Amino acid sequence: MLSSLIAAAAFQIGPFYQQKQDYAALRPVAASEGETFDVLWPAFTSHRDWWRFCYIAYWQDFPEKDAWQFALLPVWFNGRDAEKGGYAGLFPVAGCHPHIATLYDFKFCLWPLWMRYSVPRGREWLVTDSVLFPFFSVRSDGAWSVWPLYGVNHRRESDHRYVLWPLVTWASYREDRDTSGEGGSWMFWPLYGRVRRARESQDLFLPPLFSWTETRSPAREKAGDGAKDWRLRCPWPFFEIEDTAARERLSVWPFYESVGLKSYGRGDGGLSSSVTRYGWRLLEFYRDGDGALEEWRLFPFVASGRNYFRLWPFWETDVAPSGVSRSRFLALFPIRWVPAIDRNWAKYWTFYEKAECPQFAEHSLFWGIVRWRTWK
Q: Rounded to an integer, what distance in angstroms lies between the CA atom of residue 246 and that of residue 229?
A: 9
Quick check: 216 and 260 in contact, CB under 8 A?
no
Residue whose C-alpha is closest to residue 231's, from 219, 249, 246, 216: 249
Ranges of each domain in the chain? 1-32+300-376, 49-144, 229-293
Q: In angstroms, what CA-CA distances link 190 with 167, 187, 204, 261?
A: 7, 8, 9, 33
Q: Rounded to an integer, what distance in angstroms lies between the CA atom of residue 204 and that of residue 233?
A: 9
Convert the pLDDT of each residue in 53-100 to its tens digit.
Answer: 999 999 999 988 889 999 999 999 999 998 889 999 999 999 999 998
Per-residue pLDDT 10s for the chain (376 aa) are 444 444 444 688 889 998 988 889 999 999 999 999 999 999 999 998 999 999 999 999 998 888 999 999 999 999 999 888 999 999 999 999 999 888 999 999 999 999 999 999 888 899 999 999 999 999 999 999 999 999 999 988 899 999 999 999 999 999 877 778 899 999 999 999 999 999 999 999 999 999 999 998 877 777 777 788 999 999 999 999 999 888 999 999 999 999 999 876 555 567 889 999 999 889 999 999 888 999 999 988 999 998 899 999 999 999 988 888 999 999 999 887 788 998 999 999 999 999 998 889 999 999 888 989 999 7
Count of beta carbons in the 10 Å neighbourhood of residue 262: 23
Quick check: 308 and 317 in contact, CB under 8 A?
yes
Q: In angstroms, what CA-CA distances link 196 with 182, 199, 211, 213?
A: 8, 8, 14, 10
**pTM (global) more than 0.85:** no
Quick check: 69 and 60 in contact, CB under 8 A?
yes
Cβ within 8 Å of residue 14, ≥6 positions away = 367, 369
